[in-house]
Chains A and B, each alone.
Chain A
């Protein structure tokens, strides 16, 4: 054993800094976390790759189907329908959310009384359970008796089938989701706005900049990291849509509000297809990952182009 070459094991577990003593109690302290992560995240992650290639209803033994689930997924019109529905949802939800959040964050950033009250009221739907919001809005959206249609009727306008016509149902849910979540983004953007030094605006005013120019060339660039955050969080939220269509529409009318998670849930718990449901989950995870990456890339690129 005269060979001085350190073995591989020693290299992987080398100390952070040479000559420092190892505090063994550290292992004991991270052990529960590491074990828990291994069992409840590592194992399911690995098992996902097994499930994808099997047909399984949990009660009878698994059957290997090779790429059967993946072929089924590619040719399953409902998967693509769910994806289109989600993109339609995001197309309305994300810009609306950003616009409303920017507007109210700007208003709250003025010198005003009762800022805490206004901030707290915009934030209220964020803390309340999604089920409550969904039950409440289901009533507001109801065709004959919903308050929104009652109001439209009172103004002499025609009633709209908010949850019953295929073209309107998803936008209606997108508006509701905006109402539910926008408070969080108002607060995030307000924090961002408060971090912008006022002398930038004063200098711009001396140069005769208009309100729009100040917003476009000072506020928006300074808020860029927060705007990315709003985009990413609301996109991830859109891909996790479940309780709203589950309670309000069951995915209808004619699958127009079917979401990825709702479809996955149905495949697993209505049809007992665990392998196929896991495949949908896998597909959905890839899509979320890719969309979020593209978003970041696009926002960062437009940022560098402007500079």
Chain B
């Protein structure tokens, strides 16, 4: 009896979290009049909503814009984060603890404080409507540098020393000896960064107004907010589904890594 209760609660929970997504995808294939009922299937299956969305907004283009920005930022955060983290964990130089303290301090600054001044800086650089505005400010992260530093500190110094005797440079040591041992932390940083950049709307909304440069979440947001959808529910849901489905597919494959990364990042805060 107790087990029955346990499983029914869990099943209700799973249904509450998954069913809305299933319903959303199903609704996009239904005619407008049938969007607003619980049925998943309709007699008149159609791609109308998707054709409408593709006609109205640059879906493909914005998808590749998002991919481009997210991949570059993620690669950069991993590269510079690990290089910085390596120096802070493994090399002795004056002012090292100062840099660590600065990194810790920067993480306590609420983002609201620098949002507008950062925007005015980007305007002065002439980066409005360019990918530079989306990429450059996000290229490095204190959080990533500290995560890498903490992880690298656990790697035995003897490994580093042995490589040095063989005449390896520090970058060689980092990328060919330490990196293969650091898969968990690389996953964590990569997934957190990618997700953060991929899902961002506020900053993109501030710096990009040219539709050809917009990221996908921004295009979908503006489609829903500013009359582009002509109040068609099915079309709004179709745009949302186009944004959600690649993420959900990636999630199905990466879910273990992703959940553990996010849990680990939360714990370390």
Q: What is A's interface to B at a CB cutoff of 8 Å?
A: 12-17, 20-27, 29-30, 32-34, 36-37, 39-41, 43-45, 47-48, 51, 56, 58, 103-104, 107-108, 110, 112, 116-132, 134-140, 142, 145-147, 150-151, 179, 183-184, 187-188, 191, 226, 229, 232-233, 236, 239-240, 242-243, 246-247, 260-261, 264-265, 268-269, 274, 277-278, 281-282, 284-285, 288-289
Contact = CB atoms under 8 A, between A and B. Distances in A.
Given A26-B91, A120-B259, A264-B116, A33 B202 contact: no
With a 10 A CB-CB cut-off, give which of A41, A242, A289 has the most chain B CB atoms: A41
A27 B92 CA distance: 10
Interface of A, helix, strand, loop or mixed by DSSP: helix
Interface residues of B, number: 88
Contacts of B239: 135
Nearest to A154: B38
Interface in B74-123: 80, 83-84, 86-88, 91-97, 99, 102-103, 106, 109-121, 123
A47 B121 CA distance: 9
A58 B123 CA distance: 8
A131 B17 contact: no
29 contacts: A26-B87, A29-B83, A32-B140, A33-B80, A33-B83, A36-B80, A37-B102, A47-B117, A47-B121, A48-B114, A51-B117, A51-B120, A58-B120, A104-B10, A118-B14, A121-B13, A122-B14, A129-B199, A129-B217, A130-B201, A135-B237, A145-B35, A145-B36, A150-B36, A239-B112, A274-B119, A274-B120, A284-B113, A285-B110
B108 to A, nearest CB: 8
Nearest to A275: B116
A228 to B, nearest CB: 10
A120 to B, nearest CB: 5
Contacts, number: 272
